[in-house]
Amino acid sequence: MKTINAFDPTTLGSLPERRQSLIRRREALLGPAYRLFYQDPVELVRGQGVWVWDAEGKRYLDAYNNVVSLGHCHPHVVQALQRQAATLNTHTRYLNEALLDYAERLLATHHPSLDRLMFTCTGSEANDLALRLAQFHTGGSGVIVTDWAYHGVTQSTAACSPSLGPPGASPLRVYTVPAPSGDGEGVGAAFAAGIEQAILRMQADGVRPAALLVDTLFTSDGVYGAPPGFLQAAVACARAAGMLVIADEVQPGFGRTGSHMWGYQRHGIAPDMVTMGKPMGNGHPLAGLCARQDLLDAFGRETRYFNTFGGNTVSAAVGMAVLDVLEGERLLANAQAQGAYFSQCLQVLARRHAWIGDVRQFGLFLGVELVHEADPHRPAPEATTQVVNGMKSRGVLISACSRSANVLKIRPPLVLERGHVDFFIEALDDCLQGLSGF
């Protein structure tokens, strides 16, 4: 399995002494499961807006961190957190009007059929709960995901995350299908055909279908979302087999696509459940799941669910502040405008550099496929690694994705401005000119 954009421990001796010391302490205290970004890991000490600074004072454009989608340390969010933390922080077993106000406002952004909300701390927890609900309602254990998906780190969600490697034991039976690559009219039909084949494999194995779980931009698979609407056929296939449809909006949600608040809305579908995380708290650990009333009510009558920190009063204040900023600063419109400009600039680079095979852009979520200059059908993972690390040395932080590890994954804060795009493009142009050794 390829490990994308990870520090290679064999190069430790080439790093400055302070970084060597920090890495050794980290390995001794945290163990080998944790990974560091970049061949020369960066020690970040401060952030503001789209920028972060390292311990030596070098500034980086953060073009990857979807967690702080409003920008690092957004003043309105920080102030809301401070006020509530200084007043009261407690859980959902006490009445609190602020949490209900937040739930009403968040649900109003979703499809009307999604009228119940449950709070968690992480997207992994939200997806885990969604899978639990699917098993409860269908009596099945069969789940369909794409073949390089990422949906979380719990036992159930790791089993549904092929990009993490072997999942280990799980009560789920997971069936994978190819991601819906391309952008032509046949994408939807081809993806639905994959779903149909997976259902047939389930039936042949005597496995009862439970859920279709999709990241609506297929972000780990390589960033695919075109054309809008292509998911409809796959959803119809899944429902015909008795499956519930779970839209994982942890990465595509909260205005990331620019055109809609949620990725599933681009496709004109109404999922049975939607999971949310990362940008929900702009760095504060806040996540959740919304679902149809009948699903959550039936589950709640027979099962207790409680999450000590999910939906606490500080999280509710933070979540409300995030919605304030999204609306007040018109960040969906900004994502659409800046994303379009970003794409235009990348297309210009693609005409100049044969290394760029495809540019995929959905608001401020972009995937740039790198291929070999002499063969556009041959992925270039080594060049991708060089570019990711080269961008870091030029003051821009990005990562990469896809099974072939050859797609630059770009998802800057939604407050990105045109000048930031120009800074990014200049750095990428320089990186591509300097590619060598492949």
Q: Which residues in 249-297 belong to E strands, given as ranges?
A: 273-276, 287-291
The pair of structure tokens assigned to 32 is 């080998």
Q: pLDDT tens across 38-62, in order?
A: 999 999 999 999 999 999 999 999 9
For residues 134, 148, 12, 40, the Cα torsion angle rounded to the nearest 10 degrees is -100
Asked if residue 240 and residue 315 are part of one domain, the reply reads yes
Question: Is 299 among the domain residues?
Answer: yes
The pair of structure tokens assigned to 11 is 């190069």
What is the structure's pLDDT at 1? 43
Cβ atoms within 10 Å, residue 205:
10
Domain with 397 in it: what CATH number?
A: 3.90.1150.10
Q: What is the DSSP letter of 277?
A: -
What is the structure's pLDDT at 260? 98
Question: Is 12 among the domain residues?
Answer: no
CA distance 2 to 183: 26
Asked if residue 227 and residue 273 are part of one domain, the reply reads yes
Final residue in a domain of this structure, among 328, 361, 393: 328
Q: pLDDT tens across 198-253, in order?
A: 999 999 999 999 999 999 999 999 999 999 999 999 999 999 999 999 999 999 99
pLDDT value at 76 more than 80: yes
The pLDDT mean for the chain works out to 95
Asked if residue 199 and residue 61 are part of one domain, the reply reads no
Mean pLDDT score, 273-278: 97
Q: State the pairing for strand pair 116-120/59-62.
A: unpaired
Q: pLDDT tens across 59-69, in order?
A: 999 999 999 99
State how many domains the chain has: 2
Asked if residue 390 and residue 244 are part of one domain, the reply reads no
Mean pLDDT score, 18-23: 90
Q: Per 3-state DSSP, what percentage of the chain is helix, strand, and coil (rounded to 5)?
A: 40, 20, 40
Final residue in a domain of this structure, among 306, 328, 350: 328
436, 86 contact by CB (below 8 A): no
310, 119 contact by CB (below 8 A): yes
Question: Is 11 among the domain residues?
Answer: no
What is the structure's pLDDT at 383? 96
pLDDT value at 430 more than 90: yes
Mean pLDDT score, 173-190: 93
pLDDT value at 2 more than 70: no
Range of the domain at 255: 75-328
Ranges of H-type helices in 205-330: 231-240, 293-302, 313-328
**pLDDT grade, residue 173 (50/70/90)?**
very high
pLDDT value at 300 more than 50: yes
pLDDT value at 397 more than 90: yes
274, 262 contact by CB (below 8 A): yes
Mean pLDDT score, 414-436: 96
**pLDDT grade, residue 151 (50/70/90)?**
very high
Asked if residue 380 and residue 289 are part of one domain, the reply reads no
**pLDDT grade, residue 282 (50/70/90)?**
very high
What is the structure's pLDDT at 154? 95
Final residue in a domain of this structure, among 295, 328, 361: 328
Burial of 139 (0-12, 13-18, 19+ CB in 10 A): exposed
Question: Is 6 among the domain residues?
Answer: no
Give the sign of the dihedral formed by CA 80, CA 82, CA 88, CA 93: positive
What is the structure's pLDDT at 378? 96
CA distance 385 to 7: 11
CA 250 to mean position of chain CA atoms: 5
Asked if residue 323 and residue 201 are part of one domain, the reply reads yes
Cβ atoms within 10 Å, residue 290:
27
Q: pLDDT tens across 325-365, in order?
A: 999 999 999 999 999 999 999 999 999 999 999 999 999 99
Asked if residue 150 and residue 276 are part of one domain, the reply reads yes
CA distance 134 to 193: 22
Closest of 93, 81, 151 to residue 122, by C-alpha: 151
Closest of 318, 374, 365 to residue 342, by C-alpha: 365
Mean pLDDT score, 266-273: 98
**Cα-Cα end-to-end distance for the chain:** 21
Question: Is 23 among the domain residues?
Answer: no
**pLDDT grade, residue 15 (50/70/90)?**
confident
The pair of structure tokens assigned to 347 is 């297309």
What is the structure's pLDDT at 250? 98
Alpha-carbon distances, residue 51 vs 62, 77, 155, 215 (angstroms): 6, 17, 35, 27
**pLDDT grade, residue 111 (50/70/90)?**
very high
Greater confidence, 269 or 14? 269
pTM of the model as a whole: 0.96
Buried b vs exposed e over 398-435: b needs ≥16 C-beta within 10 Å?
A: bbbbbbbbbbbbbbbbbbbeeebbebbbebbeebbeeb
Q: What's the one-letter identity of residue 418?
A: R
CA distance 351 to 221: 25
Mean pLDDT score, 367-379: 94
Q: What percentage of residues in the chain have a pLDDT greater than 90?
A: 89
194, 149 contact by CB (below 8 A): no
pLDDT value at 288 more than 70: yes
